[in-house]
Structure 1
Amino acid sequence: MEGVVVRRVIPSDNSCLFNAVGYVMEHNKDKAPELRQVIAAAVASDPTKYNEAFLGKRNEEYCSWIMDPEKWGGAIELSILSEYYGREIAAYDIQTTRCDLYGQEKKYNERVMLIYDGLHYDALAMTPVESAPEEFDQTIFPVDYKRSIGPAEELALNMAKDAHRKRSYTDTSNFTLRCGVCQIGVIGQKEAVEHAQATGHVNFQEYR
Structure 2
Amino acid sequence: MDGVIVRRVIPSDNSCLFNAVGYVMDHDKKKAPELRQVIAATVASDPQKYCEAFLGKPNAEYCNWILDSEKWGGAIELAILADYYGREIAAYDIQTTRCDLYGQESNYSERVMLIYDGLHYDALVMSPVEDAPEEFDQTIFAVQPNRSIGPVERLALNFVKDQQRKRSYTDTSKFTLRCGVCQIGVVGQKEAIEHAQATGHVNFQEYR
**TM-score of the superposed pair, with normalisation by structure 2:** 0.98
What is the CA–CA distance in structure 1 between the aligned matches of 2:185 and 2:127, rounded to whole Å?
Answer: 41
Other-structure match for 1:37: 37
Shift in Å, 1:105:
0.6
Other-structure match for 1:75: 75
Other-structure match for 2:12: 12
Matched, 1:58 2:77: no
3-state SS of 2:12 partner: coil
Which amino acid is 1:162 matched to?
D
Which amino acid is 1:85 matched to?
Y
What is the CA–CA distance in structure 2 between the aligned matches of 1:174 and 1:80, rounded to whole Å?
Answer: 30
Other-structure match for 1:49: 49
Other-structure match for 2:191: 191
Shift in Å, 1:200:
1.6
Structure 1 unaligned runs (5+)?
A: none
Other-structure match for 1:132: 132
Other-structure match for 1:88: 88
Shift in Å, 1:131:
1.1
What is the CA–CA distance in structure 2 between the aligned matches of 1:158 and 1:186, rounded to whole Å?
Answer: 34
Other-structure match for 1:113: 113
3-state SS of 2:78 partner: helix
> Percent identical across equivalent pairs?
83
RMSD: 0.8
What is the CA–CA distance in structure 2 between the aligned matches of 1:141 and 1:4, rounded to whole Å?
Answer: 14
Shift in Å, 1:45:
0.5
What is the CA–CA distance in structure 2 between the aligned matches of 1:17 and 1:200, rounded to whole Å?
Answer: 22
Number of residue pairs matched by the alignment: 208
**Offset from partner CA, 1:115-164 (integer Å, 9 cap, x none):** 00000000011011111101111000000001111111111111111111
Matched, 1:175 2:189: no
**Offset from partner CA, 1:173-196 (integer Å, 9 cap, x none):** 221111122121111111111111
Other-structure match for 1:99: 99
**Offset from partner CA, 1:4-39 (integer Å, 9 cap, x none):** 010000000000000000000000000000000000
3-state SS of 2:96 partner: coil
What is the CA–CA distance in structure 2 between the aligned matches of 1:181 and 1:79, rounded to whole Å?
Answer: 32
